[in-house]
Structure 1
Amino acid sequence: MLDHRDIRHPGLGTVRVFLVRRSVAHDPMGCVAAVTGSGRALASVDVDIHADELHFADPATDTTGNTFVTYNPGRYDGVLVLVPDADGFEDIGWNDTTDYYSGGRFAYYHARLAGPGQDGRYTIVRSENPCVPSCAQGATTQVTLRWDGHEYLPAG
């Protein structure tokens, strides 16, 4: 186990969230697992990591009630957002091929957290490169994403 935090879940009370490192075929994998106060295991999230690069943000939860975990699969950092729902947390939404570099609905690769700001909320700063004419020659831009109550959308 790398770390754990007790967080306040709006429907389930105190939930303990664990960050675990495990090896799969000699490749380090991370796992975000959670257990309710009554001992019920919630759905876990697997993530490709380099070494032990799986950490809680500080603070782990912002005023939205979302919990933030940073990871690095070996090149760029990423951010996982645990968004509470009735059963535990919303599905991270990895794409169909579980390509940890592409991200998902609440998984942002090549991204970092900013804040929390004056409003007590984190924003996610995501780098994007259209790879035109190639990834090496493409212009990398940064987009700041803000929570709208349902998802993270570009600010502006």
Structure 2
Amino acid sequence: MLDHRDIQHPDLGEVRVYLVRRSASNEPTGCVAAVTGRGRALASVDVDVYEDSLHFAEPATDATKNTFVIYNPGRYDGVLVLVPNTDGFEDIGWNDPAEHYSGGRFAYYGARLAGPANDGRYTIIHSSNSCNPTCAQGATAQVTLRWNGHDYLPTE
């Protein structure tokens, strides 16, 4: 186990979130797992990580009640957002940990957190490369994503 945090889930009460590194294969895999205070295991999330590059943001939870985990599969950091729902957490939005490069609904590869700001909320700074004419020569753009109560969307 790499780390754990006790968070206050709006529907389930106290939940302990674990960050675990598994190395059963040649590819290092991390896991984000959670258990309620009554011992019920919630759905886990597997993600490729480089060495021990899986950790909680500080603070782990912001004013939105979302919990933030930073991962790095070997090149750039990514941000996983655990968004509470009545059964645990929303689906991150990928079916295979190899999708960490393309991200998911609540998984942002090539991203970093900013904040929390005065409102107690993090924003996500997401970078993308045009790869035109090549990725080494492509233009890099950044977009700031803010929580609207359902999703992280670009600010205008």
Give the TM-score, by structure 2 length. Answer: 0.97
CA distance in 2, matches of 1:38, 1:95: 28
Q: What count of residue pairs does the alignment treat as equivalent? A: 156
Note the aligned Cα RMSD (angstroms).
Answer: 1.2
Corresponding position of 2:80: 80
Over 3 Å counting, the alpha-carbon distance change for 1:37 and 1:58 in structure 2 is same
Deviation at 1:29, TM superposition (A): 0.6
C-alpha contact 1:49 1:74 (8 A) present in aligned 2: yes
Q: Deviations over 1:68-88 (max 9, x none)?
A: 000000000000000000100
Give unmatched runs, 5+ long, in structure 2: none
Q: Secondary structure at the match of 1:103?
A: coil
Q: What is the identity, as a one-letter code, of the residue corresponding to 2:139?
A: A
- Matches of 1:95 and 1:140 in 2, distance apart? 27
Runs of 4+ in structure 1 deviating by more than 6 angstroms, as ranges, are none
Deviation at 1:26, TM superposition (A): 2.1
What does residue 147 of structure 1 align with?
A: 147
1:3-18 aligned within 5 A = 3-18=3-18
Contact conserved, 1:95 with 1:102, CA < 8 A, in 2? no
Higher mean Cα deviation, 132-141 or 6-15?
132-141
Q: Would the aligned equivalents of 2:125 and 2:145 in 1 still touch at CA under 8 Å?
A: yes
2-structure distance, mates of 1:119, 1:68: 17
Contact 2:82 2:90 survives alignment (8 Å):
yes
Deviation, 1:57, is 0.4
Q: Distance in 1 between matches of 2:87 and 2:128?
A: 32
Give the superposition deviation at 1:24: 3.3
- Identical-residue share of aligned pairs (%): 76
Deviation string, structure 1 residues 100-128 (Cα, Å, up to 9, x no partner): 11110000000000000010000000101
Q: Which amino acid aligns with 1:8?
A: Q
